[in-house]
Amino acid sequence: MTTTKFNSAATQHVSPLRRVLAASCIAMLALVSQSALAQNTQNKVMRIIVPYAPGGPIDVTARLMAERVKDSLGTVIIENRPGGGGNIGVDAIAKAAPDGLTIGIAAVATHAINPWLYSKMPYNAATDFAPITQMLRVPNVLVINADTARRLNINTLADLIRYAKANPAKLNYASGGNGSAGHLAGEMFKKEAGIFALHIPYNGGNPAQLALLSGQVDFNFDNLATASANIKAGKLKALAVTTAKRSVTLPDIPAVAETLKGFEIDTWWGLVAPAGTPPDVVAKLNQAFVAALNSPETKTRFASLMAEPVANTPEQFAEFMKQELAKYERVVKASGARVD
């Protein structure tokens, strides 16, 4: 009996101690597990999928952003997935795990134009993505061959419109291809101005620009960054930029909207994650990239590319892309452009 009582007392005494030790061990294991998990997360590499080839303005700005956010987000690599007018890379973004480790570029082509150009799309531009922030916009510019401008006495956008109306079917314009930004800007301009000019598509923006410089075509809508060197050299005459307001980089060039009210068409791109990415993850990404976009270093670098940074909220970027998708439905259908 004495032994039994002793064992019972010992059991009663040791049992709470064991419970305390067990709880302490569990807590320690949890801390170790959380530490390992945090370290593992930090060691994971984020990637930004760029749906275009290396070296272009979208690729350059994406790499700039990757460098700017490394202190807050860790290592960020760029993965180029060109092809299909941007559709291949953007489809890879849509189908990535919604964990915040894979994000990518959404551009005017991939999220506003292509859905109306292609009869079959691998992704839904309206529902398959979680917007993070717009990155920038690059004005397009209506440029005319300088010799042509002198010969026809065209010094302003109003002069061009008057000449076109007085000389039907005598003007033509180049673009980088059917459905390109230059083509759609040209068709929108013709409609708003009430004029006709023959569209001549080329296989890319560079051949279209060479055709303009050589006088084979009369005018085109080009990217301001691409055209600026020839504008400054006097080979091309800039008549108007296509943004709603004048560009801060070349403020002497008027906007088309100053002559044709409401005209606005420009090149833009931003960052999106796959749909289903948790809102808190999207908010963290937005905070990091908006801070990077607002830094003086970024603004200076973008200015050298004739680009204007645009930092906004996920909700604002979502609404903007919704409006752009609706706008380009009208523009593409009016142009009759198809690529398949």
Range scoring the smallest mean pLDDT among 59-73, 159-173, 266-280, 296-310: 296-310
Higher pLDDT, residue 111 or 168: 111
Q: Are strands 172-175 and 198-201 parallel, antiparallel or unpaired?
A: parallel
Let me know whether 145 and 206 are in one domain: yes
Q: Give the model's pLDDT for residue 339.
A: 81
Q: Give the model's pLDDT for residue 250.
A: 81
Tens of pLDDT, residue by residue over 261-299, are: 999 988 899 999 999 999 999 999 999 999 999 999 999
Mean residue pLDDT of the chain comes to 87
Q: Give the model's pLDDT for residue 293.
A: 97
Instruction: Check: CB of residue 180 under 8 Å from CB of residue 197.
Output: no
Query: Residue 30: is its pLDDT beyond 50?
Result: no
Let me know whether 161 and 232 are in one domain: yes
Overall average pLDDT of the 232-243 stretch? 94
Query: Residue 134: is its pLDDT beyond 80?
Result: yes
Let me know whether 252 and 283 are in one domain: no
Q: In angstroms, how far is CA 321 from the centroid of its own chain?
A: 10
Domain of 243 in residue numbering reads as 140-258
Query: Residue 172: is its pLDDT beyond 70?
Result: yes
Of 236, 258, 280, the position where a domain reaches its end is 258
Of 211, 226, 258, the position where a domain reaches its end is 258
Let me know whether 273 and 126 are in one domain: yes
Q: Give the model's pLDDT for residue 225.
A: 81
229 assigned to some structural domain: yes
6 assigned to some structural domain: no
13 assigned to some structural domain: no
Let me know whether 190 and 250 are in one domain: yes
CB-based contacts of 282, cutoff 8 Å, min separation 6: 100, 130, 131, 132, 273, 314
CB-based contacts of 94, cutoff 8 Å, min separation 6: 122, 123, 124, 128, 129, 274, 275
> Tokens for 208?
């279209």
83 assigned to some structural domain: yes
Q: Give the model's pLDDT for residue 40.
A: 39
Query: Residue 45: is its pLDDT beyond 50?
Result: yes
313 assigned to some structural domain: yes
Q: Give the model's pLDDT for residue 43.
A: 62
250 assigned to some structural domain: yes
Query: Total domain count for the chain?
Result: 2
Query: Residue 11: is its pLDDT beyond 80?
Result: no
Overall average pLDDT of the 309-323 stretch? 97
Let me know whether 218 and 276 are in one domain: no
Q: Write the DSSP symbol of residue 313.
A: -
Q: Give the model's pLDDT for residue 338.
A: 83
CB-based contacts of 110, cutoff 8 Å, min separation 6: 51, 85, 86, 87, 90, 125
Per-residue pLDDT band at 15 (split at 50, 70, 90): low
Overall average pLDDT of the 231-256 stretch? 91
Overall average pLDDT of the 185-195 stretch? 94
Range scoring the smallest mean pLDDT among 18-22, 67-71, 116-120: 18-22
Residue 292 sits in a domain whose CATH number is 3.40.190.150
Q: Give the model's pLDDT for residue 18.
A: 55
Q: Are strands 308-309 and 129-138 parallel, antiparallel or unpaired?
A: antiparallel
Query: Residue 46: is its pLDDT beyond 90?
Result: yes
Query: Residue 181: is its pLDDT beyond 80?
Result: yes
| Dihedral sign from CA coordinates of 91, 97, 98, 104 | negative
Place of tokens 């849509």: 94
Percentage of the chain with pLDDT > 90?
Answer: 69
Let me know whether 201 and 280 are in one domain: no
Let me know whether 253 and 160 are in one domain: yes
Of 258, 276, 311, the position where a domain reaches its end is 258
Higher pLDDT, residue 317 or 17: 317
Let me know whether 254 and 152 are in one domain: yes
Q: Give the model's pLDDT for residue 313.
A: 98
Q: Give the model's pLDDT for residue 35.
A: 40
Place of tokens 């013709």: 190
Residue 246 sits in a domain whose CATH number is 3.40.190.10
Overall average pLDDT of the 115-125 stretch? 95
Q: Give the model's pLDDT for residue 106.
A: 98
330 assigned to some structural domain: yes
- Which amino acid belongs to residue 47? R
Let me know whether 168 and 236 are in one domain: yes
4 assigned to some structural domain: no
